[in-house]
Amino acid sequence: AADKKGMESRNYDATEHKMSLAELKAKFETGIDEQKPKESKGLSEQEAKNRLLRDGPNAMTPPKQTPEIVKFLMQFTNMFMILL
């Protein structure tokens, strides 16, 4: 299931920035105050814990890094480098 979730995040098309507060409230099931959003309290501690258990932490996985020796050896695949 973790691999599938990772693949979904790569193909995710973010459109939340285009939504109204009412649409965001419905989509994310939050307690946002549409009239006074700055005064909204956010999720309760229990709801935040439940979502953390359900969805996992809100963190990006770091990209895979190429080892330095491989980078060095890749330089020798260039034809001009071989001529030098």
Residue 84 pLDDT: 67
Please say if the pLDDT value at position 18 is more than 80: yes
3-state helix vs strand vs coil in the chain, percent to 5: 60, 0, 40
Please say if the pLDDT value at position 9 is more than 70: no
Show the CA angle centred on residue 61, arms to residues 16 and 27, nearest 5°.
20
Q: How would you class 1 by CB atoms within 10 Å of its CB: exposed for 0-12, middle for 13-18, buried for 19 or more?
A: exposed
pTM beyond 0.85: no
Q: Write the pLDDT tens digit of every residue in 28-78.
A: 888 888 888 888 888 889 999 999 999 899 888 888 999 999 998 888 887
Please say if the pLDDT value at position 3 is more than 50: no
